[in-house]
A and B are shown apart, each in its own frame.
Chain A
C-alpha cells in the first residue's frame, strides 16, 4: 500500500476531526492552549482512507467496520454510549431500533449503521432479544 502509513506518506493531507491540519498540532500550540481534544480526534475521511487500505489488503470486514466508524465520527460521545446500550439484549423494542436507524441515517448520513441496526432489529425479533 503506497499510502500506508498515512502518518508517514500523507502527513500533509491529514486533518483532525476539527478540520485542523495535522502539522498545526505542535507542542508549542498545545503549550499555548490552542489545542483541544477535538484536534486530536480522527477525521471521518481518514477512517474511509484506512477502510480502503484494509479492503485492498484483504481485510474486508475490518474495512466495513471502519466505514461504520467514519459514519459515527460526528456522533457525540454520549449518543454513542446510548446507541450501544440500545443494541444490548432486551433494551429496545423493534420500533425503537428502527427509529434509531432512521435517525442515524437522517442526522448523520449513517447508511451503513442504519442498515446494520435494522438487521439487528430483525434478528432480535426472531430470537427474542427485544425488550419484553
Chain B
C-alpha cells in the first residue's frame, strides 16, 4: 500500500502517542455499563436491607455492609429507588429544580441506581448538573508544589507563588519519605507568605500523614484512598472501617480530610470483578460518604490515562465528579495526572470541569514544571499559567487563579525563601545559604538550584519528626527573625484549628481568614441570574493580565512624520492623460507617518512614484477626505484618472489598484496584508499600475502570504484604521496634491 503523506503526518501527531483500546468488560476495561453491572434494586423489610443491587444480604461483601450501614438514607430509599432514573437525569438538567430537592432523594440511591441516572445524561447535561450540584457556590483550585531536589527554599518560594496566584490549597509530596516533615514545613511557611489562609497537606503514607498533621505542619489530608471492590480495598491495606477511623482521628486533631477514589484504580489493580469503572466508583463514593468524609478527590486522578484509553472515558470521569457532588461531597475534580500528549485533548477535557466549576477544578494543578512534579502529574503546569489565566479571561469563568505581575511573584518568593532560611537557622536545621535563597527567588525549576547535601536534611527531618518541635516553635522562630506577618498567619491557622469551621464540607479560607464552605457559601444555582457570578473586583482582577496593553500604545508609534513637501493645491479634477492617480487616505503623511509595518509614509510614496516612473508612466497624487475605506479611496483615484487607473493607499499601508469601470468593491489587484509589504513591493505596485494605465500586460504582484499577520496585528489594524477614520471630513472633496520630488531612475 502506498503511504499517504497526510496519514504519515497524522501518525506523528501527539494524539497518536496515546494508547487507545477496545472495551473488555471481563477485565474491567469498560468505563460504564458493563454487561456484568447489576440492575438497581433495594429490598427492605422492617427498615432492614434484605437485598441491594441484585445481591442478597447474606452475600454482601464488606463494602456492601458498610454502604448499607452508613451511607444509605433508608428512610428515603423506598421513594428514591421508585423514582425512574430518567426523572433524576431530567431534574439534574432542569435549572428549576434546586440542588436540595435532588440531594434529598439521591441519599437513598444504591450504586447501580446512581449509574443508571448517568446513563441518561449527555456531557452537556452533566455539566449543567455539576454547576448546580457543586456544594460550594464559589469554585476554587488546588496546587501541587514539589521539586525533585526537595529543596526547602525552592519549595517555600513555589508555595508562596502558588498562594499568590490564588490556589486555595497546596499539596506537596516527597521523593524520599523521610523528608516529609521538612517539605511540609516549607510548604506551610511558603503558603502563609504568599497568601494567608491557604490550606496545606503533604501526601505520604497514612500514619506518617497523621503525625505531620498532629504537629500542625499540615491542615488537611486527602490521601485516604478507597476502592470499589473488597479485594482492591484490602490490597490497599485498609477497610472502610479503618479508613473511617482514620478520618475521625484526623478530625479529632482539627484537620480537614478528603478521601480519594476515581475510575480505573480497580482495573489497574486487576480486581475489577468485571464491573464498569463508573459502577465501582459509585460504590466508592457511597463508602466515602458513609465514612463521614466531607469530600472526595475523584475524576480518575492518577489512573486517568486508563479511562481515556477507552470510549466514553472523559464522559465517565465527568459523571463521577457529578455523582460525588450529588451525594453532597466536596469534589476535587482530577485534572492532575498527565492525561494526554495532545494539548487539544487535555484542554478539551478540562473544559468539562472548568466551565461548570468544581469545589477544586484541579485536585492538583502543577504549580511547578512537570519535571519537578513528584506526583507524576502536571497535566497543566507552571508553564501553562498564562494560558490558564487567558482561558478565565476569555470565558469570564472563575478557574480559581489570578494573573500576577513578575515583581509581585519575585517579592513573595524571596520573602518565603528568606523566611524558611530563618526558620531553619532558629530551629538548628541545616543552614540555607543566601545563594540558595537568591536562586530560589528567581528559579523556574530544580535545575536552577545549587546542589544541596540531602543527608543532613534527612537526618534533621528524622529528629524533627521524633522531637517535640511543632508549629508553635515555627511561629516563634518567625517572630524572632522579624517575620511577624507570616508568624501571625500560621498562628491564625492554629486558632482556626481550635474553631474547626474548616471541617465542614468544602471549606476554604479567603485572604482574611473568613471560611467559605457549603454551610455559609452554599451553592444556590438555579439558572441565569443565580449562583456564583464572575463580577466586580474578581472580574477586574481576572481581566488584568500583565500582557494586556493600553489601546493608545498601539497607535502612538505610527503618528508624526508629516511629509512637509506634500502640498494641497485645491479640489482635484478629472485628468485626461494616460496617468496613474495615487489616492491617499485622509491621515497619510499628515496625522500619521508610518504604515503598520513601520515603513515611513514618505518612503512608501516615493517607492510607488519610482515604480510608476520606471515604466514611463505619469503620476498624480490626490488626497481623499470623505472616506478612509481602501476600496473607496482607490475608486476615487481611478475615477479622477485620465487612464481610469488609480492606486488607493491607506495610512496603515493597505493598497489597491483600481479601475474606474469596475464595481467600487472590485479591483485589479488588492494588497490587504500590509504588514508584509516592503518598499520593493510598493515599487512593483507602482509599476503594475503604470502598465495597466499604458495598456500593457502586467503580471500580478507576488506577495508573501502570512496567515499569522491578522492574528498578531488585528488590534493594531483596527486602531490604526480608527485613527485614520478620525481624519475623515465627509463634505471635503478630493484634493489635488503636489509632491516636490523626482524619482532617480
Closest CB-CB distance, B534 to chain A, in whole Å?
A: 24
Does B124 sit within 8 A of A, measured CB to CB?
Answer: no
Q: Are A46 and B498 in contact (CB under 8 A)?
A: yes
B484 surroundings in chain A (CB, below 8 A): 27
Encode A1-30 as 1/0 by CB contact (under 8 A) with B. Answer: 100111110010011110000100101001
Q: Are A65 and B291 in contact (CB under 8 A)?
A: yes
Stretch at the interface among B8-16, B173-181, B501-509, B603-611: B501-509
B475 surroundings in chain A (CB, below 8 A): 27, 30
Q: Are B252 and A123 in contact (CB under 8 A)?
A: no
Select from chain A the residue with minimum beta-carbon distance to B488.
A27
Answer whether A1 and B292 are a contact pair too, CB < 8 Å, given A27-B488, A42-B254. no
Select from chain B the residue with minimum beta-carbon distance to A26.
B491
Closest CB-CB distance, A66 to chain B, in whole Å?
A: 6
Distance of A52 Cα from B61 Cα, bound (Å): 32
Distance of A72 Cα from B496 Cα, bound (Å): 19
Does A85 sit within 8 A of B, measured CB to CB?
Answer: yes
Q: What range describes how many residues of B lie at the interface? A: 35 or more
Does B62 sit within 8 A of A, measured CB to CB?
Answer: yes
B71 surroundings in chain A (CB, below 8 A): 61
Answer whether A61 and B290 are a contact pair too, CB < 8 Å, given A54-B504, A123-B62, A127-B61. yes
Does B328 sit within 8 A of A, measured CB to CB?
Answer: yes
Select from chain B the residue with minimum beta-carbon distance to A11.
B499
Q: Are A40 and B245 in contact (CB under 8 A)?
A: no
Does B457 sit within 8 A of A, measured CB to CB?
Answer: no
Encode A73-96 as 1/0 by CB contact (under 8 A) with B. Answer: 101010011011101111000000
Q: Are B248 and A87 in contact (CB under 8 A)?
A: no
Stretch at the interface among B235-243, B318-326, B592-600, B701-709: B235-243
Closest CB-CB distance, A39 to chain B, in whole Å?
A: 8
A14 surroundings in chain B (CB, below 8 A): 498-499
Q: Are A127 and B253 in contact (CB under 8 A)?
A: no
Does B519 sit within 8 A of A, measured CB to CB?
Answer: yes
Q: Are A40 and B498 in contact (CB under 8 A)?
A: yes
Encode B14-27 as 1/0 by CB contact (under 8 A) with A. Answer: 00000000000000
Closest CB-CB distance, A69 to chain B, in whole Å?
A: 4
B498 surroundings in chain A (CB, below 8 A): 14-17, 22, 25, 40-43, 46
Q: Which residues, 171 to 208 on B, are CB-close (under 8 Å) to A?
A: 206-207
Most buried by A among B100, B210, B475, B500: B500
Encode B242-276 as 1/0 by CB contact (under 8 A) with A. Answer: 10111111111110000000000000000000000
Select from chain B the residue with minimum beta-carbon distance to A29.
B491
Q: Are B241 and A70 in contact (CB under 8 A)?
A: no
B503 surroundings in chain A (CB, below 8 A): 47, 50, 66
Closest CB-CB distance, B520 to chain A, in whole Å?
A: 6
Answer whether A81 and B207 are a contact pair too, CB < 8 Å, given A57-B519, A59-B505, A88-B239. yes
Distance of A129 Cα from B239 Cα, bound (Å): 9
Answer whether A64 and B239 are a contact pair too, CB < 8 Å, given A7-B499, A81-B210. no
Q: Are A127 and B519 in contact (CB under 8 A)?
A: no
A75 surroundings in chain B (CB, below 8 A): 252
Q: Are B216 and A6 in contact (CB under 8 A)?
A: no
Most buried by B among A30, A35, A70: A30
Does B495 sit within 8 A of A, measured CB to CB?
Answer: yes
Q: Are A25 and B494 in contact (CB under 8 A)?
A: yes
Q: Are B472 and A119 in contact (CB under 8 A)?
A: no
Closest CB-CB distance, B276 to chain A, in whole Å?
A: 23
Tell me which of A5, A30, A84 contacts B499 (CB under 8 A): A5
Does B31 sit within 8 A of A, measured CB to CB?
Answer: no
Distance of A81 Cα from B324 Cα, bound (Å): 29
Encode B41-68 as 1/0 by CB contact (under 8 A) with A. Answer: 0000000000000000000011001100
Answer whether A119 and B518 are a contact pair too, CB < 8 Å, given A5-B499, A25-B495, A127-B61. no
Answer whether A61 and B479 are a contact pair too, CB < 8 Å, given A7-B515, A22-B495, A84-B246. no
Select from chain A the residue with minimum beta-carbon distance to B250.
A69
Answer whether A116 and B244 are a contact pair too, CB < 8 Å, given A61-B292, A65-B291, A88-B238. yes
Distance of A114 Cα from B488 Cα, bound (Å): 39
Distance of A58 Cα from B504 Cα, bound (Å): 11
Select from chain B the residue with minimum beta-carbon distance to A81.
B207
Closest CB-CB distance, B105 to chain A, in whole Å?
A: 13
Closest CB-CB distance, B229 to chain A, in whole Å?
A: 12
B519 surroundings in chain A (CB, below 8 A): 1, 4-5, 53-54, 57
A83 surroundings in chain B (CB, below 8 A): 245, 249
Closest CB-CB distance, A93 to chain B, in whole Å?
A: 15
Q: Are B241 and A87 in contact (CB under 8 A)?
A: yes
Q: Are A50 and B501 in contact (CB under 8 A)?
A: yes
Closest CB-CB distance, B394 to chain A, in whole Å?
A: 35
Q: Are A46 and B290 in contact (CB under 8 A)?
A: no
Most buried by B among A8, A22, A70, A80: A80
Q: Are B520 and A69 in contact (CB under 8 A)?
A: no
Q: Which residues, 465 to 509 on B, are CB-close (under 8 Å) to A?
A: 470-472, 475-476, 479, 484, 487-488, 491, 494-501, 503-505
Answer whether A5 and B515 are a contact pair too, CB < 8 Å, given A53-B504, A62-B294. yes
Distance of A104 Cα from B242 Cα, bound (Å): 15
Q: Are A40 and B471 in contact (CB under 8 A)?
A: yes
Q: Are B491 and A30 in contact (CB under 8 A)?
A: yes
Does B381 sit within 8 A of A, measured CB to CB?
Answer: no
Distance of A93 Cα from B247 Cα, bound (Å): 23
Q: Are B476 and A66 in contact (CB under 8 A)?
A: no
Distance of A11 Cα from B513 Cα, bound (Å): 14
Distance of A50 Cα from B497 Cα, bound (Å): 12
Distance of A6 Cα from B499 Cα, bound (Å): 6
B151 surroundings in chain A (CB, below 8 A): none
Closest CB-CB distance, B136 to chain A, in whole Å?
A: 12
Most buried by A among B210, B254, B497, B505: B254
B230 surroundings in chain A (CB, below 8 A): 127
B698 surroundings in chain A (CB, below 8 A): none
B237 surroundings in chain A (CB, below 8 A): 88-89
Does B628 sit within 8 A of A, measured CB to CB?
Answer: no
Distance of A123 Cα from B513 Cα, bound (Å): 43
Does B69 sit within 8 A of A, measured CB to CB?
Answer: yes
Answer whether A40 and B479 are a contact pair too, CB < 8 Å, given A75-B252, A127-B62. no
Q: Are B241 and A113 in contact (CB under 8 A)?
A: no
Q: Are B294 and A42 in contact (CB under 8 A)?
A: no
A16 surroundings in chain B (CB, below 8 A): 498
Q: Are A7 and B239 in contact (CB under 8 A)?
A: no
Select from chain B the residue with minimum beta-carbon distance to A57.
B519
Q: Are A22 and B499 in contact (CB under 8 A)?
A: yes
Distance of A56 Cα from B515 Cα, bound (Å): 18
Q: Are B248 and A59 in contact (CB under 8 A)?
A: no
A61 surroundings in chain B (CB, below 8 A): 70-71, 289-292
Q: 3 closest A-B pairs (Cβ-Cβ)? A: A65-B292, A69-B251, A42-B254
Contacts A5-B515, A62-B292 known; 19 new A-B pairs at CB < 8 A: A7-B496, A7-B501, A30-B476, A33-B476, A40-B216, A42-B498, A53-B504, A57-B504, A60-B73, A61-B291, A66-B292, A69-B249, A85-B207, A89-B234, A89-B237, A113-B245, A117-B241, A123-B66, A123-B241
The contact sample of 13 A-B pairs, CB cut-off 8 A, is A4-B519, A17-B498, A22-B495, A37-B215, A46-B500, A49-B500, A57-B504, A57-B518, A65-B244, A80-B249, A83-B249, A123-B62, A127-B61
